[in-house]
Amino acid sequence: MLGVTFFGNPTNMLIRSNTCGELRESHIGQTIRLNGWVNSYRDHGSLVFIDLRDRNGLTQLVFDPDDGGATEMMEASRKLRNEDVLAIEGKVRARVGGPNPKLETGKIEIAVSKLEVLNKTDNPPFLPDDLAKLPAEEFRMQFRYIDLRRPRMQAILTARHKVYQVTRRYFDENGFLEVETPILYKSTPEGAREFLVPNRHLAGSWYALPQSPQLFKQVLMVAGCDRYMQICRCFRDEDPRADRQAEFTQIDLEMSFVRREQVMEMMEGYVRRLWKEMCNYDVPPIQRMPYREAMERFGIDRPDTRYGLEIIDISAIAAKTDVAFFKETLEKGADRPAFTSKKGVVKAIRVPGDQGAEKLSRKITDAYTPFVSGFGAGGVAVVKVNAAGEFETGIAKFLTGVKAELFDTLGLKPGDTVLFVADTYSVATKAMGELRQKVARDTGVVPKPATEGGPRNFLIVVDFPMFERNKDTGKWVAMHHPFTAPNDDQLQAFVKADVEDEVTIESIVSAGYDIVLNGQEIAGGSIRIHDKSVQSKVFQLLGMTPEQAKEKFSFLLEALSYGAPPHGGIAFGLDRLVMNFMGTDNIRDVIAFPKTQTGADLMTKAPSSVTDAQLKDLHVKSLAP
Ligand code: ASP
């Protein structure tokens, strides 16, 4: 065996009797064997100390000539270096230098009597030490096997494993069947850009990698599977973002013969079990919040309810002022229903004086206008309430006439700051939702993460609109996905609605639901359409001709016509769950072999070029220079 030096009995590897995290005072006097990596090395003249590391922890080894350390072994021990792979045998003794409270094994050490060097390492590019300054992430991704040796990364892998186990146990107990669905799938317009795979057998035909197993799980319900679950990989070729990976994992579920409430109850049970087992946290009953309320109060469909700074519509008061841009805005579509995207509105946020308003310096608030313009809004007007209870700065002088009403509606007090945005409903809502989160960060009212003792605010958002207009194309798009059913009480309205009747279409509410934790969507799902004609109407509304619908979805439409039961489901983002449990906001931390933001695997160097012969086989011509 190349590069391997044996000491002790060379024909018989010292197979471990224990792990490096296991030994305690109760083992003192026993002869044990350990295997692992040299985590640290200290030569103290006559004695050599090594911390040996495996997935379970660290154990201190002592090479001691007075306690089992023969001369040949003492010499060999002096040649050991960080990350060498060892097997040792020795006796557990009380730690001579006194206990190390930082280590679980800190009360003992091993007086080594046999040493096998299982593998010498080359000089490592860096050391897997959580406490040292780590090199740049890209460098660590290149040597992922070394980075994964860090105790923190091992803890994350372990937590992820535990999530799988708790999940499988819970859904098994509740009668769900785990079924695998294909990775080589059909290109279907589900929302994101797809990864395509050419097919060698039929020139010009392609598979797509699934964005989710959505239609397979629905077909499984038609197939009588009743309850399905899968921990599955999904693929979306979306633009890079820090908390996204093109390849990610969902906990995917579907149930037959249910309405919305049964799915939500099952999911609440799962959330409760998962948080209990992962962090001994008892999730209280989860509040349901209608989408419209979330948008009105928080300007977003995944509200972070850990802090206030709620948004208040002050359009009626604004109409009585002489602020020109308030008036102009309100005249836009003032006759439309309150929620429609084109209605003009004025919205305000009160930043309380006793919750950080003083931190909003002129410099900070001046930056709010360019900030909201990123979301299409014209600007933010800022007014302060001085110690005498009078408005100051900005549009203060135009608000005198409505002072009492504004004080009453917003609950104003001296020291407060008020931020106003005026625009169409959809722009003002979005801009205020983003501004609210920014103000929370600027004033320091965002609580610390749950892993550091902060609160966990769960919420189930319901009653989403079925459709919204795509900002760029102006076409209707499904807010969840095109297979989501109208809510029970909306079905008739949807069936009757004229597809040209914008106001009615915009008002139809779906049977979708999202689970939100501290402002992050952790799961989303819906009751599905199980009636073929309703499904066809949705496709029509989304701009598909009957021929296009048939080409893309004939298997679904057919399945729906052969006895499809009512069904619904949900999918949890598993990576996000693990991020949450482990207190990291880097999704790459929780994936064993992640990719960079541009989709590169720096260890294997994928994606990479292929030969012309391979391309020819696949009937593909490369346009790459
Ligand atoms: N397939 C959906 C998604 O990936 C989840 C669901 O509706 O169950 O978002």
pTM of the model: 0.93
Give the span between the Cα atoms of 491 and 534, in whole angstroms: 9
List, in order, residues 6 or more apart from 608 with CB less than 8 Å away.
none
H or E stretch covering 548: helix 546-561
Between 90 and 189, the higher pLDDT residue: 90
Distance 536 CA to ligand 1 centre (A): 20
- Does any ligand 1 atom lie closer than 6 A to the CB of residue 525? yes
Give the span between the Cα atoms of 145 and 132, in whole angstroms: 17
List, in order, residues 6 or more apart from 59 with CB less than 8 Å away.
20, 21, 23, 34, 36, 51, 52, 105, 108, 109, 110
- Does any ligand 1 atom lie closer than 6 A to the CB of residue 527? no
Mean pLDDT of 395-404: 92
Chain centre to alpha carbon of residue 395? 41
Give the span between the Cα atoms of 193 and 212, in whole angstroms: 12
Residue 1 — pLDDT band, cuts 50, 70, 90? very low
Ligand 1, atom nearest to 483 Cα: 7
- Does any ligand 1 atom lie closer than 6 A to the CB of residue 512? no
- Does any ligand 1 atom lie closer than 6 A to the CB of residue 568? no
Say if residue 409 is exposed, middle or buried (CB neighbours under 10 Å; 0-12, 13-18, 19+).
middle
By alpha-carbon position, which residue is closest to atom 1 of ligand 1? Answer: 214
Distance 577 CA to ligand 1 centre (A): 16
- Does any ligand 1 atom lie closer than 6 A to the CB of residue 357? no
Distance 548 CA to ligand 1 centre (A): 22
- Does any ligand 1 atom lie closer than 6 A to the CB of residue 433? no
Between 336 and 294, the higher pLDDT residue: 294
pLDDT digits (tens, 9 = 90+) for 530-557: 999 999 999 999 999 999 999 889 999 9
Dihedral (CA of 542, 545, 546, 548) sign:
negative
- Does any ligand 1 atom lie closer than 6 A to the CB of residue 510? no
| Size of the chain in residues | 625
Q: What is the structure's pLDDT at 213?
A: 96
For the ranges 253-257, 334-338, 452-456, which has the lowest average pLDDT? Answer: 334-338
Mean pLDDT of 149-173: 98
User: What is the three-class DSSP state of 219?
Assistant: helix
Residue whose entry in the numeric block shows the structure tokens 């197979």:
15
Q: What is the structure's pLDDT at 332?
A: 80
- Does any ligand 1 atom lie closer than 6 A to the CB of residue 212? yes
Distance 480 CA to ligand 1 centre (A): 8
Ligand 1, atom nearest to 484 Cα: 7
Give the span between the Cα atoms of 530 and 559, in whole angstroms: 9
pLDDT digits (tens, 9 = 90+) for 26-78: 999 999 999 999 999 999 999 999 999 999 999 999 999 999 999 999 999 99
Distance 471 CA to ligand 1 centre (A): 22
Give the other-Cβ count within 10 Å of 203's Cβ.
10
Alpha helices in 362-497 (DSSP H): 362-366, 368-373, 403-410, 425-443, 491-496
pLDDT over 70 percentage in the chain: 97
Residue 394 — pLDDT band, cuts 50, 70, 90? confident
Residue 5 — pLDDT band, cuts 50, 70, 90? low
Ligand 1, atom nearest to 252 Cα: 8
User: What is the three-class DSSP state of 41?
Assistant: strand
Distance 262 CA to ligand 1 centre (A): 17
For the ranges 333-342, 441-450, 466-475, 591-600, which has the lowest average pLDDT? Answer: 333-342
Distance 519 CA to ligand 1 centre (A): 19
Q: What is the structure's pLDDT at 334?
A: 72
- Does any ligand 1 atom lie closer than 6 A to the CB of residue 484? no
H or E stretch covering 458: strand 458-462
How does DSSP classify residue 566? P
- Does any ligand 1 atom lie closer than 6 A to the CB of residue 214? yes
Give one word for 280, left, alpha or beta, with left for phi > 0 and alpha for psi -120 to 50: left
Distance 512 CA to ligand 1 centre (A): 10
Distance 611 CA to ligand 1 centre (A): 37
Distance 176 CA to ligand 1 centre (A): 17
- Asked if residue 161 lies in contact with residue 574, where contact means CB atoms within 8 angstroms, the answer is no
Q: What is the structure's pLDDT at 3?
A: 37
pLDDT of 609 strictly over 90? yes
Q: What is the structure's pLDDT at 2?
A: 35
What's the mean pLDDT when you consider all of the chain?
94
- Does any ligand 1 atom lie closer than 6 A to the CB of residue 478? no
pLDDT digits (tens, 9 = 90+) for 250-289: 999 999 999 999 999 999 999 999 999 999 999 999 999 9
Distance 525 CA to ligand 1 centre (A): 5
Give the span between the Cα atoms of 473 and 481, in whole angstroms: 17
User: What is the three-class DSSP state of 395?
Assistant: coil
Q: What is the structure's pLDDT at 190?
A: 61
pLDDT of 4 strictly over 50? no
pLDDT of 616 strictly over 50? yes
Give the pairing type, strands 391-392 and 381-385: antiparallel
- Does any ligand 1 atom lie closer than 6 A to the CB of residue 215? no
Distance 211 CA to ligand 1 centre (A): 9
Ligand 1, atom nearest to 234 Cα: 4
Residue among 181, 481, 521 whose CB has most ligand 1 atoms within 8 A, to mutate: 481
Give the span between the Cα atoms of 157 and 278, in whole angstroms: 13
